[in-house]
């Protein structure tokens, strides 16, 4: 009786888990749920709200959500996005990181007591000079 032959996997082959498309879509939808249609519009609204009220808790809240999402992406253990420009996770990770970066900058300026209104009117806040919605 012939039994099917079971081949051993080639030890030299690296098995790289590909990110699940649904996971990328879910992460992207989560980011859109936090920032809406436009990151620039959201940060502009948060900035104007801070200028009007002096309360930076809304900036903090949105940043916390974005950082939580960034942490989720990191725990998925996808390919190393810094090493592979073809990695489908790179674009979404870059969007999340850029969003986090401009929110951190706005929050830092607010917490340090910088004249955010003057910086805003001069157009020198990071979000005003960063290609946010083109990614």
Assess contact for 109 and 119: CB atoms under 8 A: yes
* pLDDT at 59 exceeding the cut of 90: yes
| Cα–Cα distances in angstroms (integers) from residue 110 to residues 2, 40, 48, 49, 67, in the given order | 75, 17, 12, 11, 18
- Cα separations in angstroms, 17 against 78, 81, 82, 93, 97: 7, 13, 16, 17, 22
End-to-end Cα distance, the chain:
60
Structure tokens at 132: 């946010």
123's tokens = 């157009």
pLDDT in tens, 104-123: 999 999 999 999 999 999 99
pLDDT digits (tens, 9 = 90+) for 2-24: 444 444 334 433 434 445 655 77
Q: Is the pLDDT of residue 27 over 50?
A: yes
Tokens read off for 70: 């960034």
pLDDT digits (tens, 9 = 90+) for 65-101: 999 998 888 776 554 555 566 666 777 888 899 999 9
Q: What share of the chain is helix, strand, coil (3-state, %, to 5)?
A: 60, 0, 40
Confidence category of residue 33, pLDDT binned at 50, 70, 90:
very high
Structure tokens given for 92: 């979404």
């Amino acid at each position: 009786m012939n039994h099917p032959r079971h081949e051993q996997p080639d030890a030299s082959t690296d098995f790289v888990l590909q990110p699940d498309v649904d996971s990328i879509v879910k992460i992207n939808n989560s980011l859109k749920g936090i920032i809406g249609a436009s990151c620039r519009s959201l940060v502009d609204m948060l900035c104007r709200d801070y200028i009007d009220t002096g309360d930076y808790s809304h900036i903090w809240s949105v940043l916390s959500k974005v950082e939580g999402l960034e942490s989720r992406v990191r725990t998925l253990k996808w390919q190393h996005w810094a090493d592979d420009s073809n990695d489908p996770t790179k674009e979404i990770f870059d969007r999340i990181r850029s969003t986090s970066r401009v929110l951190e900058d706005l929050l830092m300026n607010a917490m340090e007591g910088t004249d955010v209104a003057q910086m805003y009117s001069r157009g020198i806040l990071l979000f005003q000079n960063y290609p946010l919605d083109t990614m």
